[in-house]
Amino acid sequence: MAQKNLKKKAIFITIEGLEGSGKSSVIGFLEDLIKAKGFSAVVFREPGSTAVGEKIREILLDKKNKKLSCHTELLLYLAARTQLIEEKLVSAFKKYDFVICDRFFDSTLVYQGYALGLGRIVDRAVKIFSLGIIPDLTIVLDVEAKDGLKRIKNKDRIESRPIDFHNKLRKGYLALAKKYPERIKVIDAQTELAQIYERTEKILMNKFNFIRLRS
Ligand code: TMP
């Protein structure tokens, strides 16, 4: 798909973080806040939010798939993303004021690129298969890996990886945030929910001033 087809009116926000970092609550809060201000919003998740993407998600998270290779894993995440972009995101960008995505390419950079160690190949592949889409704002919910994992009862294939993998994820996210300070904002997600929401609202208002003007 040519990049010129990607004209968008929407603001694209992605939420990232370790396992058990509380992405769902923050996304719910963000969606309600944006709608309460009179803007339209839609939420997607990655991998998923399309019929094909949800099937790919099942393969990726199924603990029985012990032989899934690192490169196959990478390709499946990219496939689910490309499907979401072409099937849903491109039209959503034209229709809604805000598009919110539970994870996007930063997950691939951190999980497959950094923690799995696929490195450069991931950088290149992510660039190609994100079809020119870059989030306007990315919020990283920062928790200690072991504390996030404690919150999860039935661990899936990725969550069941050794603690070293999860510790690397945290390092990876913080390094990315340092590299792209304008786009990526980190929130301490190990504090009270009210404080996390307050910080989320502040980040949103500071970044997109026009939202303040709506009562
Ligand atoms: P979650 O969105 O419910 O957290 O589940 C998605 C899982 O897939 C999570 O463990 C993070 C992982 N993931 C990757 O490893 N690479 C990716 O590119 C994406 C989008 C997710």
Full domain range(s) for residue 170? 11-214
- 37-76 pLDDT tens trace: 999 999 999 999 999 999 999 999 999 999 999 999 999 9
Looking at the predicted structure, is the pLDDT value of residue 215 above 80?
no
Secondary structure of residue 190 in the 3-state scheme: coil
CATH number at residue 166: 3.40.50.300
Give the helix/strand (H/E) hosting 54: helix 51-61
**Nearest-CA residue for atom 7 of ligand 1:** 158
Q: Is residue 129 part of a domain?
A: yes
Ligand 1 centroid, distance to 165 Cα (angstroms): 13
Q: Is residue 84 part of a domain?
A: yes
Ligand 1 centroid, distance to 64 Cα (angstroms): 17
- Distance of alpha carbon 15 from alpha carbon 50, whole angstroms: 18
Domain count, the chain: 1
Which pTM was predicted? 0.96
Radius of gyration, alpha carbons of the chain: 17
69 Cβ neighbours under 8 A, 6+ residues apart: none
Q: Is residue 17 part of a domain?
A: yes
Q: Is residue 1 part of a domain?
A: no
Q: Is residue 5 part of a domain?
A: no
Asked if 103 contacts 93 with a C-beta cutoff of 8 angstroms, the reply is: no
